[in-house]
Amino acid sequence: MSLINFSEGFFIAVHSLILLEKHKPERLSAKFLAQELHSSQAHLSKVFQKLTKAGVVTSVRGPAGGFVLNKDSEEITFLDIYEIVEGRVNISGCVFGKSYCAFTTCIFGNELNKLTKEVYDKLNSTKISDFR
Protein backbone atom coordinates (compact mmCIF):
# COMPACT_ATOMS: atom_id res chain seq x y z
CA MET A 1 0.00 0.00 0.00
CA SER A 2 1.40 3.29 -1.13
CA LEU A 3 -0.08 6.69 -0.32
CA ILE A 4 0.72 8.15 -3.73
CA ASN A 5 0.43 5.52 -6.42
CA PHE A 6 0.53 5.85 -10.18
CA SER A 7 -0.97 3.22 -12.45
CA GLU A 8 0.75 0.68 -14.65
CA GLY A 9 -0.62 2.54 -17.67
CA PHE A 10 1.12 5.77 -16.71
CA PHE A 11 4.28 3.85 -15.89
CA ILE A 12 4.26 2.37 -19.38
CA ALA A 13 3.59 5.72 -21.04
CA VAL A 14 6.37 7.77 -19.44
CA HIS A 15 9.00 5.04 -19.51
CA SER A 16 8.26 4.23 -23.16
CA LEU A 17 8.28 7.84 -24.26
CA ILE A 18 11.62 8.42 -22.57
CA LEU A 19 13.00 5.32 -24.30
CA LEU A 20 11.74 6.68 -27.63
CA GLU A 21 13.46 9.98 -26.89
CA LYS A 22 16.71 8.26 -26.02
CA HIS A 23 16.66 6.08 -29.14
CA LYS A 24 15.65 8.91 -31.45
CA PRO A 25 15.08 8.76 -34.38
CA GLU A 26 14.85 4.99 -34.14
CA ARG A 27 11.48 3.32 -34.47
CA LEU A 28 10.67 1.08 -31.50
CA SER A 29 8.10 -1.72 -31.54
CA ALA A 30 5.56 -2.53 -28.86
CA LYS A 31 7.25 -5.88 -28.36
CA PHE A 32 10.66 -4.30 -27.78
CA LEU A 33 9.30 -1.66 -25.41
CA ALA A 34 7.33 -4.22 -23.40
CA GLN A 35 10.41 -6.39 -23.00
CA GLU A 36 12.51 -3.41 -22.03
CA LEU A 37 10.02 -2.33 -19.34
CA HIS A 38 9.09 -5.84 -18.18
CA SER A 39 5.48 -4.94 -18.89
CA SER A 40 2.56 -6.56 -20.68
CA GLN A 41 2.74 -5.99 -24.44
CA ALA A 42 -1.06 -6.02 -24.63
CA HIS A 43 -1.36 -3.26 -22.09
CA LEU A 44 1.43 -1.28 -23.71
CA SER A 45 -0.29 -1.52 -27.08
CA LYS A 46 -3.51 -0.12 -25.61
CA VAL A 47 -1.66 2.77 -24.02
CA PHE A 48 0.06 3.54 -27.33
CA GLN A 49 -3.26 3.63 -29.16
CA LYS A 50 -4.15 6.55 -26.90
CA LEU A 51 -0.76 8.21 -27.36
CA THR A 52 -1.06 7.83 -31.14
CA LYS A 53 -4.56 9.31 -31.25
CA ALA A 54 -3.40 12.16 -29.04
CA GLY A 55 -0.61 12.87 -31.52
CA VAL A 56 2.24 12.24 -29.12
CA VAL A 57 3.72 9.46 -31.22
CA THR A 58 3.37 8.29 -34.81
CA SER A 59 2.75 4.62 -35.47
CA VAL A 60 3.92 2.60 -38.44
CA ARG A 61 2.53 -0.86 -39.12
CA GLY A 62 4.20 -3.76 -40.82
CA PRO A 63 7.66 -5.25 -40.53
CA ALA A 64 10.15 -2.84 -38.93
CA GLY A 65 7.08 -0.94 -37.77
CA GLY A 66 6.69 0.65 -34.38
CA PHE A 67 6.45 4.06 -32.80
CA VAL A 68 8.39 7.30 -33.00
CA LEU A 69 8.06 10.40 -30.89
CA ASN A 70 6.61 13.34 -32.78
CA LYS A 71 8.73 16.44 -33.37
CA ASP A 72 7.32 18.63 -30.61
CA SER A 73 6.55 15.80 -28.18
CA GLU A 74 9.79 16.23 -26.27
CA GLU A 75 8.29 19.34 -24.76
CA ILE A 76 5.07 17.59 -23.69
CA THR A 77 4.63 17.53 -19.93
CA PHE A 78 4.11 14.47 -17.77
CA LEU A 79 0.81 16.02 -16.80
CA ASP A 80 -0.34 15.92 -20.43
CA ILE A 81 0.71 12.29 -20.65
CA TYR A 82 -1.06 11.53 -17.39
CA GLU A 83 -4.29 13.05 -18.67
CA ILE A 84 -4.05 11.23 -22.00
CA VAL A 85 -3.71 7.92 -20.21
CA GLU A 86 -5.87 8.45 -17.11
CA GLY A 87 -8.26 11.21 -18.02
CA ARG A 88 -8.59 14.78 -16.84
CA VAL A 89 -7.01 15.51 -13.45
CA ASN A 90 -9.02 17.20 -10.73
CA ILE A 91 -6.79 19.26 -8.50
CA SER A 92 -9.39 20.58 -6.10
CA GLY A 93 -11.95 18.73 -4.05
CA CYS A 94 -11.67 16.31 -1.17
CA VAL A 95 -9.08 13.51 -1.27
CA PHE A 96 -11.97 11.11 -0.75
CA GLY A 97 -13.53 12.23 -4.02
CA LYS A 98 -16.91 12.60 -2.32
CA SER A 99 -19.44 15.25 -3.21
CA TYR A 100 -21.24 14.90 0.12
CA CYS A 101 -19.64 15.01 3.56
CA ALA A 102 -21.28 14.76 6.98
CA PHE A 103 -19.01 17.51 8.26
CA THR A 104 -19.09 21.16 7.42
CA THR A 105 -15.35 21.45 6.92
CA CYS A 106 -13.24 18.85 5.14
CA ILE A 107 -11.33 16.67 7.62
CA PHE A 108 -7.92 17.35 6.17
CA GLY A 109 -8.60 21.01 5.52
CA ASN A 110 -6.63 21.94 2.45
CA GLU A 111 -3.33 20.50 3.63
CA LEU A 112 -3.65 17.46 1.41
CA ASN A 113 -4.89 19.62 -1.45
CA LYS A 114 -1.71 21.58 -1.13
CA LEU A 115 0.30 18.38 -1.45
CA THR A 116 -1.85 17.31 -4.40
CA LYS A 117 -1.03 20.62 -6.01
CA GLU A 118 2.66 19.97 -5.48
CA VAL A 119 2.41 16.60 -7.21
CA TYR A 120 0.48 18.33 -9.99
CA ASP A 121 3.15 21.01 -10.35
CA LYS A 122 5.87 18.38 -10.42
CA LEU A 123 4.11 16.53 -13.25
CA ASN A 124 3.47 19.78 -15.06
CA SER A 125 7.08 20.88 -14.87
CA THR A 126 8.61 17.61 -16.02
CA LYS A 127 9.14 17.00 -19.73
CA ILE A 128 10.35 14.10 -21.86
CA SER A 129 13.34 16.17 -22.92
CA ASP A 130 14.45 16.29 -19.28
CA PHE A 131 15.58 12.70 -19.80
CA ARG A 132 17.55 13.16 -22.97
Partner DNA sequence: ACTATAAAGGTATTAGAGTACCTAAATAGA
Partner DNA sequence: TCTATTTAGGTACTCTAATACCTTTATAGT
Binding site for ligand FES (CB under 6 A): 15, 94, 96, 98, 101, 103, 106-107
Q: Binding marks (x or -) toward its own copies, 14..33, rule CB under 8 A?
A: xx--xx--------------
Binding of its own copies by 97 (CB under 8 A): yes
Q: Binding marks (x or -) toward DNA, 58..87, rule CB under 7 A?
A: -xxxxxxxxx--------------------
- 128 near 69, Cβ under 8 Å? yes
Cα–Cα distance measured from residue 11 to residue 4, given in angstroms and rounded to the nearest whole number? 13
Q: Which of 22, 3, 25, 4 is nearest to 14 (CA)?
A: 22
Q: How many residues line the site for DNA (CB under 7 A)?
A: 25
Cα–Cα distance measured from residue 32 to residue 23, given in angstroms and rounded to the nearest whole number? 12
